Amino acid sequence: MKAAVIGLGVEGKKAVNSLLKHGWEVYATDLNINVDLEGLNVPRLSMNMLDSEQTVSIVGENITLDLGFTNPYAIEQCDAIAISPSMYGGAFAEKLLQDGHLLSDVLDKHKDIFTIGITGTNGKTTTVHMIKTILEDAGKRVLVGGNGGGGFSGYYDLILEANEGEYDILLVEVCDMTLDFCRYCFDFDMIGLTNIGNDHMDVHKTIANYKNSLVRFFDDKLIFTAFNQDFNSDFKESASKCIPYFEYQDELQLFGKFNLLNAGLATAIARELKVPKDVIRSSLAQFKAVEGRLDVYKINDALVYVGKTDNSDALASILSEKDFYAIFIGTPRHNEDHRLDILDVAVKYNPEVIVLFPGLDDTLDIAIYRLNSLGYMGNIITVNSLDQIIELVAEYSHEDAILIGGNGQDTIIEIQERIKLISEKLSD
């Protein structure tokens, strides 16, 4: 079998890797010759510069990559096509849908599996793993995946895995920027909404646009929304049924009211699936923080909170519950100015120190300018390495609390692993 992958963003690269893993031959293309190929598992490549660095062909075992151009003939020879979710709704995607060439149409076994979608701005990954834990403890065979940006292997990987295995439930993390794409690719039986927050406004432009995308996504579906969620009346009108959920009331090891709501959503879905209450309570009582998500470690006198908080609402939800002496913030990409508003939130809570480190990109200068323009009067420190971060954590470890968050999931996971190791050694 041969597949074409159109667009080599996060989902495109994950689609290439997954198709190769599942034994497919792959033709991949991106019109941007400077696309970042990091993360592609394509060994033994040879490169052919076709036109003075304006186009490039890269050939490897079972894969051909064309950068700067697309070969229509190569696409025509493919059995299925995987497009970037951002292309959904365009003329090219519409033609593929009419011809039935999209991978989710060629392989459609996943549409016969009971499917739960979890979407929202913050808390998706934690909620998905909570539900997975509960359902597996209840004896269900659960396939989990989805949103590549959330740490999973992408939507296409989920489709490929579902085609080969036997599962009772498909559990999909749905990024808020891919709602229309996912509604087409998956047949959702239930959808849970964690929250609506201020992120990806470069795509949505306004909260009202985001809400309208959710209304389309919820059309004629059984949905779960927080009891106090904005726009609940719009969602109820769109959905076939809307079930409210509340903060979880039993034992939970995670910090924050936002995690009580995540657990409340997981509980509401599990109850609708007739999972016994004692299984739900036992599963959530033992549930640990997901890698890269907020967890707490003891170092000397300080509690060190570490986890990805890459938008203003995520950061505000933590700072509203705890005072921090120092806040370490990973910076966003150069083209993500909208995510700099996490600095506005940090300044509002006025820590003694704000430490900036490269999260997704080295945009330290831009972040310093933002802090100065906000009139922040505390101490601003910039660091460029993990060792420097650890040195500062040690220096502040006799204060009450430290927060390390912001952008850069991989970077924050690396920090989290080191902090956890230090904490465990100190507790021995």
Structure tokens given for 91: 């003329």
**Residue that is last in its domain, among 285, 317, 347:** 285
**Are residues 334 and 244 part of one domain?**
no
What is 142-157 written as a DSSP string? Answer: EEEEE-GGGTS-BHHH
**Residue that is last in its domain, among 105, 131, 154:** 105
Order of all β-strands in the sheet with 401-406: 295-299, 302-306, 401-406, 326-330, 353-357, 379-382
Owning domain of residue 384? 295-427
**Are residues 390 and 413 part of one domain?**
yes
Number of domains in the chain: 3
> According to the model, what pLDDT value does residue 46 have?
52
**Residue that is last in its domain, among 285, 319, 348:** 285
Structure tokens given for 197: 């927050």
B/e letters for 139-161, b = 16+ CB within 10 Å, e = fewer, are ebebbbbbbbbbbbbbbbbbbbb
**Are residues 132 and 101 part of one domain?**
no
Say if 223 falls within a structural domain.
yes
pLDDT in tens, the chain (428 residues): 999 999 998 889 999 999 999 999 999 999 888 888 887 876 555 555 445 467 888 888 899 999 898 898 999 999 999 998 888 888 878 887 888 789 999 999 999 999 999 999 999 999 999 999 999 999 999 999 988 766 788 999 999 999 999 999 999 999 998 999 999 999 999 999 999 987 666 676 788 989 999 999 999 999 999 999 999 999 999 999 999 999 999 999 999 999 999 999 999 999 999 999 999 999 999 999 999 899 999 999 999 999 999 899 999 999 999 999 999 999 999 988 888 999 999 999 999 999 999 999 999 999 999 999 999 999 999 999 999 999 999 999 999 999 999 999 899 999 999 999 999 999 87
Residue 192 near residue 119 (C-beta atoms within 8 A): yes
> According to the model, what pLDDT value does residue 337 have?
85
**Are residues 419 and 375 part of one domain?**
yes
**Are residues 122 and 94 part of one domain?**
no
**Are residues 304 and 272 part of one domain?**
no
**Are residues 85 and 125 part of one domain?**
no
**Are residues 158 and 93 part of one domain?**
no
**Are residues 323 and 234 part of one domain?**
no
What is 99-130 written as a DSSP string? Answer: HT-BHHHHS-GGGGSEEEEEESSSSHHHHHHH
> According to the model, what pLDDT value does residue 43 have?
56
Residue 326 near residue 356 (C-beta atoms within 8 A): no
DSSP 419: H
**Are residues 361 and 281 part of one domain?**
no
Closest CA to 381 of 319, 391, 303: 391
> How far apart are the C-alpha atoms of 171 and 266, rounded to whole Å?
12
Say if 49 falls within a structural domain.
yes
**Are residues 98 and 15 part of one domain?**
yes
Q: What share of the chain is helix, strand, coil (3-state, %, to 5)?
A: 40, 20, 35
